[in-house]
Structures are given as C-alpha cells and as structure tokens.
Amino acid sequence: MFEEIMEKFSDSPSQQRVIRLLLARGFSVNDEGRVVSGGIEIPNTGIARELDVDRRVVDATTDAILADGQLRPIFQNISAVPSLMDLAPVLDLAVCTVAVRDANETGIVAAVTELVAEYDISLRQVLSEDPEFTDEPVLYLITDGELPGEFITDLREFSFVRRIELE
C-alpha cells in the first residue's frame, strides 16, 4: 500500500515528503483539506517549514488526497499512537528495536512477546510498524529497565531477526 501511495505522487518528491510526514506522525486530513491530529489543526505553514517546502505543496498534497477515492479514506481515518520511545531515557525505560527479514511473516510479535514472558520482562509498550506504510518496518519493545544479555542472545536466534538495537 505504501508503494502505491507514493507512486501516486511520483512526479513530486516534495509531495512525497508531505505524505511521509503525514504517515509518520499519524496526521489525518479533514474534509476542508486541513491537516489535523484528532481535532487539532496543524498549520500547513508549520508542515512546510518542517519539510523545507512551500506551503502550496502541502495544499496541493491535501487536495490530491481528498480528490482520490483510495487515499481519502486512508488519510481521513489515520491516527497517531502515543509512543514511550522518546520518553524512555526520562522514565528509565529500555528500548529494543528488532529489524526483521520479512515483516509479512506471521507470528513475529507472538514469538517475541512469548520470549519476553519466558524471561519475566515487564513490557511497557510494543509497537510494530506496518509493512504497508513504511519501507523497512521494525518492532519496538519498550521495557522496564535493561534487558538481560541472555534474552538478547535468544532473540537473535529467531530466523526472522535481521538486526537488534538497544537504547
């Protein structure tokens, strides 16, 4: 799906950057073509400044979204999920990022959370990026405190694990 969305804006790298930001932040587009987070409007000038594009690029992108029968329901119903990742250092939490070989493989989250349970690790949050909306989706584990080395070793044993990063 992500590739199909980006293809619709293939003639405009600037509009693709707007699309990426909307998806990454979970911003939606209302009936008036305004970018919103819940009921809070995000000024197009702020989005343009963040992306270093002209405000009219944001306007053109939201107009194109509303005019497209496939994109409109996606961008009118997307929402943000609060994440503890940025708060982890402040709250003394650990973040483990698991990059996988094939994000479409079934049972990845189940296998990882089963391993977490075996080690009696307290999970605060699990976030899984959707392979339909990002190029290289990963799984984030936010835990109370540091992860034991044995856990990391066992996690690496899964055939679907490509890379592990700890923060």
Q: Residues 68-78: pLDDT tens digits?
A: 999 999 999 99
- Distance from C-alpha of 100 to C-alpha of 86, rounded to nearest angstrom: 22
pLDDT in tens, 94-152: 999 999 999 889 999 999 999 999 999 999 999 998 877 777 889 999 999 889 999 99
pLDDT value of position 81: 83
In this structure, the number of other CB atoms found within 10 A of the CB of residue 160 comes to 17
User: What is the architecture of the domain spanning 88-166?
Assistant: 2-Layer Sandwich (3.30)
pLDDT at residue number 24: 86
Report residue 3 as tokens.
Answer: 């590739």
Looking at residue 101, the DSSP 8-state letter turns out to be S
Q: What is the DSSP secondary-structure string of 44-62?
A: HHHHHHHHTS-HHHHHHHH
What ranges do the domains of the chain cover? 2-77, 88-166
Q: Considering the chain, what is the average pLDDT of its residues?
A: 94
Torsion of CA 157, 130, 40, 57, to 10 degrees: 120
